[in-house]
Structure 1
């Protein structure tokens, strides 16, 4: 599983403090983090700027004060819309940090806004991390336990059985080859049969599995990949709208315009112009 292109293995060396914390700052609009998944729980608290995250392709608009929760085994990526996007990132090795919480196999709500308790805890953790006073790791650990307990009591969206959790990892592993292939070949015509052959299952089973994991059809996912690439190219203003449509794999210009407007809420000419 370690050789999966979208799989990211987090290594946290300090067993006494099995939490990785850092600031991620993006100075230009664009990619905040590329699409990937991992088995750790990851929090992103936006300190400045706005943008959008995709968790299993679900769009989550974010701004200052937003808390994004990346659950274990969730494909996610982030995009900054501003010239200064600044976030505090906290990554938990939950099996070591708290076996009690890890055993719950919970799925937290992906986006939390305007919760004063969370904001207070996050900023207190951030202050401890910056100051690094005597016993700061002990103080942070206490606050982190309080934060996770608060999320567990107030923001659980779903609880998985052990079997469901194992199946979630196994199915993501099977789809990784497909997702990598789409990322590398989105400019070409891609069929369901072609993708099913990549993981050696029937076309029917593939379509069912893909929709179960990704929440949409393979075609919709492929078009979303193309539309994200198109937005980036349009924003560069180096090609015309029709040239961008062709460059990302849309054979029908009118269909490109319709899908772009549906996905972003405005026509591609607004970005290009």
Structure 2
């Protein structure tokens, strides 16, 4: 499978069917299989081979082959290799609003609205050791299979399976009320890291100073660097450069602009440093990356690449 970079702020699916399916995603670089990010959509991740340690806000969960992870909307999440040297997973990303009814019926009022507003919290780790978990995994596998085989009615089948998944999880959901103080503290940390990452995403084309990012979250520079590394598993500089490289990959794929111009566009003021950083994250130079992408597009058989 062609390795792809993690793409932030992408549109999942189509406005009339806001669902994206990503099949057989492998690690991006080193021990990272899913870079730290978040989105408004919900996500179901099925580990197919190996295992990985997934971060969801402040919780860390080891998910093994045959198990799944539920990621709520707005939840900070990432995935890293843990015990196994390799991991392959598939994911279904969807806008939960697609489950709303035309009118305020009992399904929307009793089940969907509380989940959307996070008054009810679905279980995060789906092991399949109990009947409800097996039902969720079967429905998730059905969604993946329908999209892989391009089932002619995959849209209605996908929506039906998502309803089935929430129905199976419903008796095991927890309420958001009365959370202990440590949970509130965790949420504060999550909001701070989101603010820092958001600042990097907004200003990545500019010369960024650590102090400016630290000031955004009300921390000293040293405390912020330690906090960021703990939460994201990358230093702020590593994350910033990685994000810039992701943007460079898009420009290399979508334009014939000179490499030096792309380097400047994404915030690098030194071509040699840009090439070295690009090679670190992608295992090849920018020029080689562009050639491989062009060769991939010209291939007579093109499967849907798992772009995340």
Q: Specify if TM > 0.5.
A: yes
Equivalent position to 2:125, from 94, 111, 135 = 111
TM-score under structure 1 length normalisation? 0.57
Distance 1:29 1:137 in 2: 35
- Structure 1 residue 120: deviation in Å? 1.8
- Structure 1 residue 8: deviation in Å? 4.3
Residues 51-70 of structure 1: pairs in structure 2 closer than 5 A: 51-70=52-71
Residues 1-273 of structure 1: pairs in structure 2 closer than 5 A: 8-26=8-26, 30-81=31-82, 82-98=84-100, 100=108, 102-104=112-114, 105-106=117-118, 107-114=121-128, 115-151=133-169, 153-159=170-176, 175-178=193-196, 195=214, 197-199=215-217, 221-222=227-228, 224=230
- Change beyond 3 A, Cα 1:225–1:14: closer
- Structure 1 residue 43: deviation in Å? 0.9
Runs of 5+ unmatched residues, structure 2:
1-5, 102-107, 178-185, 205-209, 236-308
Q: How many residues align?
A: 196
Q: Which deviates more from structure 2 when the two are superposed, residues 48-57 or residues 124-133?
A: 124-133
- Change beyond 3 A, Cα 1:159–1:88: same
Per-residue CA shift, 1:171-206, capped at 9, x if unaligned? 966653445789x9xxxxx99xx94x434x6x7xx9
- Structure 1 residue 227: deviation in Å? 6.8
- Structure 1 residue 61: deviation in Å? 0.7
Check the 8 A contact 2:21/2:144 in 1, yes or no.
no
- Change beyond 3 A, Cα 1:95–1:227: closer
- Change beyond 3 A, Cα 1:64–1:29: farther
Check the 8 A contact 2:193/2:231 in 1, yes or no.
no
Distance 1:181 1:141 in 2: 35
- Structure 1 residue 24: deviation in Å? 3.9
* 3-state secondary structure, aligned to 2:151: coil
Check the 8 A contact 2:50/2:88 in 1, yes or no.
yes
Check the 8 A contact 1:15/1:96 in 2, yes or no.
no
1:260 corresponds to: none
Check the 8 A contact 2:36/2:232 in 1, yes or no.
no
